[in-house]
Structure 1
Amino acid sequence: MVTGRLRVVLVKLHRYIGLSLGLLFVLLGLTGMTIAWRDELDAWLNPDLLVASAPMTAPVTPDTVQAVTERLAPPYGKPNLLMLPTHADGVFIAWYPVKGPGGVVPGRSRQVMVDPLTLEVKGERVWGEPGLSRRLLLPTLFHLHRYLLSGDTGKTITGVAGMLLLLTTLVGVAAWWPKMKLRSVVQAFRITHGGSWSRFNYSLHRAGGILAAPVLAVIAFSGWYLNLPKWVTPIVAGVMTVTPPAKHVSAPAPAGARPLEAGEIMAAAQAQYPQAQVTRIGFPRKPGDAFEIRLCQPGEVRQHTGATRLWLDAWTGAPLGVRDPQQAPAGDTLLNWQFPLHTGEAFGLPGRIFITLFGLAPLAFAVTGTLIWWKRRRGHQRHVVKSAQRAGMRA
């Protein structure tokens, strides 16, 4: 049971975190509501860029992937990453580094979109470039949500914000915790008015907070992990088995050999996972690098792009390593769930709708919490004034 003095400390800690970071929490909640539907909204705003000329009637084949990379060769060259269509109306998206006077510009990538049927280059844009045009609006909202438009510095800030949101949620639960008596428990969940708007506001914040706490904790933890995995992974690894990261290196080039093409690599990946859909192909960037393939297996919790990763030798296509979420240890499974939980994807369309609506929760708690603080502050000020008046009268 929480003692009276400890409860006061917990309430103050909960209040100060909320007052200090409330606006940031609100910003993350509102932008998260939008980017939960990023792909759909982006395609709706930019059909000329992100919607194929006609729906595909068959899955993407290695021959199509090979034709797309050959189409990109002049003038773009080999991309760092090729994202394959994941639905019938989708397009190929090739990613290239953006180079400036000082070298590669961090946080910026050129996206080139290719129609899967006509092989026409539909257009391009710079991912990471802020703007409010149709082409840049959804990428900008994404970078605002994750990076605060400030690159790695902003990513660290949002990661720390997730950690502190988790802390203030747990502190709020501890401060709320009632006596283990039926009347006290019922009262702790009750929203009352009694002719007093301040009482209604307080009970709404208190009861609504405890009902929302489990979801807030999940979103906070997943946001912390997704932005600062090097902080969270060791914590999880302390209690669960987590596969350590590994660097997968291609064998030295055989005499007279040529690197495998994208179509050949896709065929090699499909041979390893015949039932899976290839969603991304990461190309070697320097000698010794391997191809990194992303696949989506049937039944994966990450339903859109999958979380299966396969590394293949650049010269032979031989498998060098794999991260299979369906055969992962407990720690890997917990971490693999974080992204689909954060976006609601883990529970399909109902989950995404729920997460979208829940994006309003930080705003609601910021408003009710600020009103509680303001009322108590005014009450404290009146008490100070009356005490000073009484002291003056005695003098």
Structure 2
Amino acid sequence: MKNFSLTLHLWTGLVFGTILVVLGLTGSALSWMHELDVLFNPGLLHVAAPRGMRTGDPFRSDPALIESVGDALVRDSRYGKPNTLELPLRAGDVFVASYRVPPGRANAPWVQSVTRQVMIDPSTLRVTGERNWGEFGMSRPLLMPTLFHIHRYMVAGETGKVIIAVTGVALVLMVLTGLMLWWPRMIGSAIWNAVTIRHGGSWPRFSFQLHRAGGFFAAPVLLVSALSGIYFNMPEWVTAAVNVISPVTPNPKLMNQSIGPGEGASVAGAVIAAQAKFPDGRISRVSFPARSGQPFEIRVRQPAELRQGPGATRISIDSGDANVLRVIDPERARGGDKFLSWLFPLHTGEAFGLGGRIFMCLFGLLPLAFFVTGLVIWVKLRRKKLFGM
């Protein structure tokens, strides 16, 4: 059994190791995605704080301001009604309006989808600039989006999502087979030897001990990272498994329940209805109806949520009469829903605040260390096999 586990562990690492290294290094950078994006693009993503506020103060967009931004975009022939509008988190941040760009090359599964982002100053409603989110490039506006799409899709669209999900499955296999290979005899000296690292003047031995002990301690975080990575790209794979243990609430697409065509409810009305459900929450994103008969979706972050930034609370608002159609509340979720809502903040480390983000940033370097030490071990095993050393 151990020989089979060793073979599976080695070859899975050789096949998927390079992808895992790329995911780890890009993940380290993405731990500070917003901060780095603003640092590289101050003219695009940073503006003067509103009067009476200091840069960095918490910022809450009132319904009238949100509607004013939407109206300004609709009146401008260059933009029109956006698909989504992300709200400023702090004073000095901008509104970000997103527009879907028609897919090119017959919507091939390996083509990365592109979203046009337009940035708006909350105080003046002036457009500060725009960029194409999803377009590959190393320029300052495209650098962080490119790192994100490498990490999430390998910049390969739907095909990339499958590759990353399969890589997540491979990582689960590597962790499980690695634990089987690590498992010592249940005596004190053997256990101590399996969790300590000593150089002893031999680099191959040091690499083996670092790989073995480091893998043991990293196993829980690696499993969470693998499982969450699979879920983000192929949610049905994980949801089906979780649903066997604890029910997961289905969230089908909704349509308006109000009578009559068109969108009788204003953006401000939808925001007011959502805010009434969560008075202490911060509205972070508004998704506009893509076509007639569809509702608004309002994203909210509640104060106690694990997920930072935009939060994970979603309220669907009838675009005809501004009635609430559905609420997805991670704070009141149970069982499988609760487990799935934890995956993103655990994946990024933000569930544990600044310390968690720092930890995950450093943790992203481990796949490179495991790949290098694994190669040293593999080369040594090959030499023994070929030359009887």
TM-score normalised to the size of structure 1? 0.92
Match of 2:233 among 227, 230, 234: 227
Alignment of 1:50-69 (within 5 A): 50-54=45-49, 57=53, 59-69=60-70
Equivalent residue, structure 1, for 2:199: 193
Structure 1 residue 88 corresponds to structure 2 residue 87:
no
- Residue range with higher mean Cα deviation, 326-335 or 193-202: 193-202
Alignment of 1:243-392 (within 5 A): 243-254=249-260, 258-383=263-388
Equivalent residue, structure 1, for 2:10: 15
CA separation in 2, counterparts of 1:297 and 1:106?
32
Match of 1:160 among 166, 186, 189: 166
Percentage identity across paired residues of the two chains: 48
Q: Secondary structure in 2 aligned to 1:238?
A: helix
The answer to whether the 8 A contact 2:286-2:297 is kept is yes
Alignment of 1:138-157 (within 5 A): 138-157=144-163
CA separation in 2, counterparts of 1:352 and 1:153?
29
Alignment of 1:100-111 (within 5 A): 107-111=113-117
Amino acid corresponding to residue 232 of structure 1 in structure 2? V
Task: Could you tell me which runs of 5 or more consecutive residues in structure 1 were left unpaired when the two chains were aligned.
Answer: 1-5, 387-395
The answer to whether the 8 A contact 2:82-2:288 is kept is yes
CA separation in 2, counterparts of 1:34 and 1:225?
21
CA separation in 2, counterparts of 1:208 and 1:248?
47
Residue 258 of structure 1, CA deviation: 4.8
Residue 259 of structure 1, CA deviation: 2.6
CA separation in 1, counterparts of 2:373 and 2:103?
47
CA separation in 1, counterparts of 2:347 and 2:220?
13
- Runs of 4 or more consecutive aligned structure 1 residues displaced over 4 Å after TM superposition: 100-106
Q: Secondary structure in 1 aligned to 2:371?
A: helix
CA offsets 1:50-83 (integer angstroms, 9 cap, x no match): 1122257352101110110111111211111111
Residue 45 of structure 1, CA deviation: 0.6
Match of 1:133 among 139, 163, 166: 139
Match of 2:222 among 209, 216, 221: 216
CA offsets 1:149-173 (integer angstroms, 9 cap, x no match): 1101001101110111011111101
Equivalent residue, structure 2, for 1:45: 40
Amino acid corresponding to residue 325 of structure 2 in structure 1? L
CA separation in 1, counterparts of 2:177 and 2:103?
46
Amino acid corresponding to residue 83 of structure 1 in structure 2? E
Residue 271 of structure 1, CA deviation: 1.3
CA offsets 1:211-262 (integer angstroms, 9 cap, x no match): 111111111111111111011101001001211122221025438x753221
Q: Report the count of equivalent residues.
A: 378
CA separation in 2, counterparts of 1:15 and 1:55?
57
CA offsets 1:71-115 (integer angstroms, 9 cap, x no match): 111121111111111122211000111136778896111101000
Residue 316 of structure 1, CA deviation: 0.8
Q: Secondary structure in 1 aligned to 2:320?
A: coil
Amino acid corresponding to residue 185 of structure 1 in structure 2? I
Amino acid corresponding to residue 64 of structure 2 in structure 1? D
C-alpha RMSD of the superposition: 1.7
Structure 1 residue 29 corresponds to structure 2 residue 34:
no
Amino acid corresponding to residue 96 of structure 1 in structure 2? Y
The answer to whether the 8 A contact 2:112-2:135 is kept is no
Q: Note closer, same or farther for the CA distance 1:279–1:25 as it changes in structure 2 (3 Å cut).
A: same
Q: Note closer, same or farther for the CA distance 1:261–1:211 as it changes in structure 2 (3 Å cut).
A: same
CA separation in 2, counterparts of 1:100 and 1:218?
33
Q: Secondary structure in 1 aligned to 2:101?
A: strand
